[in-house]
Amino acid sequence: MFHREGQRIIIIAFTLLSLVVLLAHLYVTTPWLKWTLQIGSIVLLVLIMQFFRNPRRIAQKNFDEILAPVDGKVVIVDEVEEKEYFKDKRKQISIFMSPLDVHVTRYAASGVIKYSKYHPGKYLVAWHAKSSEKNERTTVVINTPLFGDILYRQIAGAVARRIVNYAEVGEHVQQGDDAGFIKFGSRVDLLLPLDSVITVKVNQKVVGAKTCIATVAESEEKGYIT
């Protein structure tokens, strides 16, 4: 299954690359050049198709876990000052996506969208410390039953120049559902309450809508802090 954001690109790529293969077969007489053009076109088409793949995943929905919003590698686990929305300290988990990762963004938790904003910006490499403040990005805040407000950012990188965000203020969203897409590599940041228990480590690989990245803090009296 391919993501809807890639369907047009796949059709165009298939048409153009098929034409290259056909023209090479008809008009290129040098064997090594013909095979290079044809095999190269097929490989490029496969790479484009795999980039836009959208594996079907059914999240085991629950309120006491935050699931990874994307596939990739955890590059930051830290306490930071969030300047755009909360304007206070939060726990940050950043996940970097390589061009080979699935690039679908999924909702990390169920709840109601309170804030959704697009920011134009630069295209620093996604692991740059300032990319979350300087790069093109979207910021989304979800009000959840147990964690309260959580924030995630889709951040464009040096290659990724197209962010798609489906979150609309007032919308009720479900954990694991499709929240958008980032074309050609980048990263997603999550900003969680300080009492969240982080369950992942730097350099750990995570899977969107599958890997638990944080749980609600336990309370001796109620079982949870809400």
Tell me whether residue 186 is one of the annotated catalytic residues.
yes
Q: Are residues 109 and 137 in the same domain?
A: yes
Which pLDDT does position 225 carry in this prediction?
A: 37
Which pLDDT does position 92 carry in this prediction?
A: 96
Q: Are residues 105 and 33 in the same domain?
A: no
Domain housing 34 = 4-51
Tens-place pLDDT, residues 61-114: 889 999 999 999 999 999 999 999 999 999 999 999 887 888 889 999 999 999
Tens-place pLDDT, residues 78-92: 999 999 999 999 999
Between the alpha carbon of residue 167 and those of residues 13, 137, 222, the distances in Å are 29, 13, 32
Among 183, 145, 164, 129, smallest CA distance to 66 is for 145
**37 HSE (CA, 13 A, CB side):** 18
CATH classification at residue 100? 2.70.70
Q: How many CB atoms lie within 10 A of CB 4?
A: 12
Tens-place pLDDT, residues 199-218: 999 999 999 999 999 998 76
Please state whether the predicted TM-score (pTM) of the whole model is above 0.95.
Answer: no
Taking a C-beta distance cutoff of 8 angstroms, is the pair 158, 123 a contact? yes
Q: Are residues 191 and 84 in the same domain?
A: yes
- Mark out the alpha helices in 73-173 (DSSP H runs): 131-134
Tens-place pLDDT, residues 49-58: 877 777 888 8
Q: Are residues 20 and 105 in the same domain?
A: no
Which pLDDT does position 220 carry in this prediction?
A: 34
User: What are the φ and ψ backbone dihedral angles of 65, each rounded to 5 degrees?
Assistant: -135, 145
Estimate the crossing angle of helix 31-51 against helix 7-27, to 10 degrees.
Answer: 170
Q: How many structural domains are present in the chain? A: 2
Would residue 220 count as lying in a domain?
A: no
Between the alpha carbon of residue 179 and those of residues 81, 122, 126, 154, the distances in Å are 25, 23, 20, 10
Q: Are residues 87 and 154 in the same domain?
A: yes
Among the listed residues 18, 186, 196, 219, the single catalytic one is 186
